[in-house]
Amino acid sequence: MSISYAPAGKSGKWDGALDWLQMLTGASLILFMWCHMLLVSSVVISPRLMNAIAGFFEATYMAQVGGPLIFLGFLLHFVLAARKIPFRAEGQKTIWQHARMMHHGDTWLWVVQIVSAMLILVMGSIHMWVVLTDLPITAAKSAARVQSGFWAVFYFFLLPLAELHVGIGFYRIGVKWGFIKDRERDKFKRGENLLTGMFIAIGLITLIRFLFLSVN
């Protein structure tokens, strides 16, 4: 039986390129998530403001074109990240044992990011499918969906999962690619925790606003 394999140098180049693509898709999704949160939270100021912003994206076809592109970027990012995720029970057990043994904060952050990624893959896909197949986006539609009951619970779970994943991802990108030095890690973590908490708070206020918004 013959075994063929690619030279180590070639394999290393491909891994490096895929890591860069993973970083770029991740950074793009982080930026999108923050912009998306600010867009949706405009309903807190005024439903008319949210409708006006959503109407602009509709009129310029950014929603019709950008929405599917974001969805494809979302799936591509997961596929790229999945290269490093242990899917077998044995690998998962090893990661869990190492995390408990090492008591290393960054290792636990990676574990949280993996678990949240699995849940976000399913829940995020459902959310994007429901929104993109029911255009145009309006404050009344969003409020009616949240007030249905099921979706309120759905979003109250998805919101912290997404923001935790985004916050950890932002931190890990900075560490991995050298933007954050070792001596700056604690300071950056505190800032990122504050930013994540702020976005979760904005999201919760937005959901509560939708719960009490008139849909008539």
Residue numbers in the known binding site are 36, 77, 127, 165
Annotated binding site for heme b: 36, 77, 127, 165
User: At 204, phi and psi to the nearest 5?
Assistant: -65, -40
For residues 134 and 69, is the Cβ–Cβ distance under 8 A?
no
Residues 124, 117: Cα–Cα separation, whole Å: 10
Q: End-to-end distance of the chain based on CA atoms, in angstroms? A: 71
